[in-house]
Chain A
């Protein structure tokens, strides 16, 4: 190391700014040291990104498996399930996730909706082990299923489903993602600090979405962006979505 520094000094003295034989840059630019610095910076950046984008989220969110693995794709098949009809996907969804007479939304149906079809715990309608477990554990005891709700919003948020689905004609999957074709329920991830679902924040850490058709997050900015794009700026007033 010492020798090389001495020798570089000597050549610099002798040749001035001309490039040394075998190198692209003059010695005084100290490209080797610069490259070292850049290398350490890139290494640090990658390390920070790995910590921030992979390790931190892995630590921040606790993972929960839903109590029953509900098969949405199977239940939306109108040949298998009576009553699930409609031209659009939203109409099919409304068979279970329905509106009450006063316009409020039922959200995730209670056990009584399931037992409209799955009424006898002794005779399952299908052949899946999941259904048998559901029959034995919940239908037989008439116990409500403690679902983890992916889209549960903070207490200060007011959301009217009927204003969006019926009056605004927005598909369910625009906000919730495509649940209709899911054969398996995704793993529920809960923020250990806030207690909110990860689906509110979104899975993509960078926050950049090229395809704006669907969104996997439900933050205030997403609501406001959609309101503005659809020319409904008046709905960005605070009390429209806050309570």
Chain B
């Protein structure tokens, strides 16, 4: 098969450190606010809640003194080469942009058949059962991002890696007579908001970017890696039971990972909160 994405210039992706994630949910709130996710009259109906970024709670299932809880933040994985949602889309409403590695979703083109929702192994796609609704005079209309168009009833939406921030960064670069953008100029809203700094965002194709280094760590893994979707969202955990939950391993299939090459201080060179 043709591998168009191999010729791409950028390949944006993120590394999420599960050991740092506290499960506070700031990424979910920041994402919804940034991307104009609509509110509903009945927000308690969680089956139809739209969460581009969603936290999954996992546990090692052991009784009290040995219980461990972790959280997996799940944006769209922006699968490489052949995303399952792209190949099933009958309207070409979703496509993989081989220049950025971002899977796009065009709401005005979507016909709402929800094939992509069924095809996505990560449940990252959401259907709009109602028109976008932002009650006026309650302040909700004031936080809207003008660069993100609200969705109409009957279309599917998903995380876009805050693509409008990429366009904004490019516009700033053009104003300053540059064609390329720096690593810190384009990061997603969840990356910016995470108080634990568990998320690192950057260009996986650029060896100068932090993410390109972090994905080489033996403790870095991806969700459902064996089905071949090649997600651009990577996770990191030093605990074996977390890594074991990332895929549907049959008994005896999972082999524990041993880190012999990386020292602990090598893992992340990101400055801590107090160094800012």
Q: Give the interface of A toward B (CB within 8 A).
A: 99, 101-104, 154-156, 158, 160, 162-163, 166-167, 234, 237-240, 242-243
- Say yes or no: is B60 at the interface (Cβ < 8 Å to chain A): no
Interface, chain B (partner A; CB < 8 A): 95, 97-100, 102, 104, 106-109, 147-150, 160, 163-164, 167-168, 170-176, 179
| Residue in B95, B102, B147 whose CB lies within 8 Å of A243 | B147
On whether A167 and B179 interact (CB within 8 A), knowing A156-B106, A239-B102, the answer reads yes
Bound form: Cα–Cα A156–B36 in Å: 13
Instruction: Give 20 new A-B contacts, CB below 8 A, not counting A156-B107, A158-B167.
Output: A101-B175, A103-B171, A103-B172, A156-B108, A160-B174, A162-B174, A163-B171, A167-B179, A234-B98, A237-B95, A237-B104, A238-B95, A239-B100, A239-B102, A239-B104, A240-B97, A242-B104, A243-B163, A243-B164, A243-B167
Interchain residue pairs with CB less than 8 A apart (25): A101-B175, A102-B168, A103-B171, A103-B175, A156-B149, A158-B147, A158-B164, A160-B167, A160-B171, A162-B174, A163-B171, A163-B174, A166-B175, A167-B179, A234-B98, A234-B99, A237-B98, A238-B95, A238-B104, A239-B104, A240-B97, A242-B104, A243-B148, A243-B163, A243-B167
Cα separation A237 to B147 with both chains bound (whole Å): 18
- Hey, which chain B residues are within 8 Å of A156, CB to CB? 106-108, 149
Contacts of A239 in B (CB 8 A): 97, 100, 102, 104, 160, 163
Q: In the complex, A181→B163 CA distance in Å?
A: 38
A103 proximity list for chain B (CB < 8 A): 171-176
Please name all residues of chain A whose beta carbon is closer than 8 Å to the beta carbon of B107 when the two chains form the complex. 156
Min C-beta distance of B62 to chain A, whole Å: 44
Q: Are B172 and A102 in contact (CB under 8 A)?
A: yes
In the complex, which residues of chain A have a beta carbon less than 8 angstroms from the beta carbon of B104? 237-239, 242
B170/A163 in contact, CB under 8 A: yes
Contacts of A242 in B (CB 8 A): 104, 106, 108
A243 to B151, CA, bound (A): 11
Nearest residue (CB) in B for A103 is: B175
Chain A residues in 8 Å Cβ range of B150: 155
Point out the residues of chain A lying under 8 angstroms from B171, CB to CB: 102-104, 160, 162-163
Q: Which residues of B contact A238 (CB under 8 A)?
A: 95, 97, 104, 106, 109
Smallest Cβ-Cβ distance to B8: which chain A residue: A234
Which of A155, A237, A238 has most chain B Cβ within 10 Å?
A238
In the assembled complex, the Cα of A103 lies from the Cα of B172 at a distance in Å of 5
**B95 contacts A167, C-beta separation under 8 Å:** no
Q: Are B175 and A162 in contact (CB under 8 A)?
A: yes
User: From residue B34, how far is it (CB to closest CB) to chain A in Å?
Assistant: 13
Q: Which residues from chain A contact B148 at a C-beta distance below 8 Å? A: 243
Report whether B97 and A154 are in contact in the complex, using a CB–CB cutoff of 8 Å. no
**In whole angstroms, what is the CA distance A156 to B157 when docked?**
13
Q: Is the CB of A102 within 8 A of B106?
A: no
Q: A237-B97, A239-B97 are in contact. Are A155 and B149 (CB under 8 A)?
A: yes
Specify which of B99, B170, B172, B179 is in contact with A237 (CB 8 Å cutoff). B99
Please give me the residue from chain A that is nearest to B103 by CB atom. Answer: A239
- CA of A122 to CA of B233, assembled, Å: 64
**Which residue on chain B has the smallest CB distance to residue A105?**
B171
B23 → A minimal CB distance (Å): 31
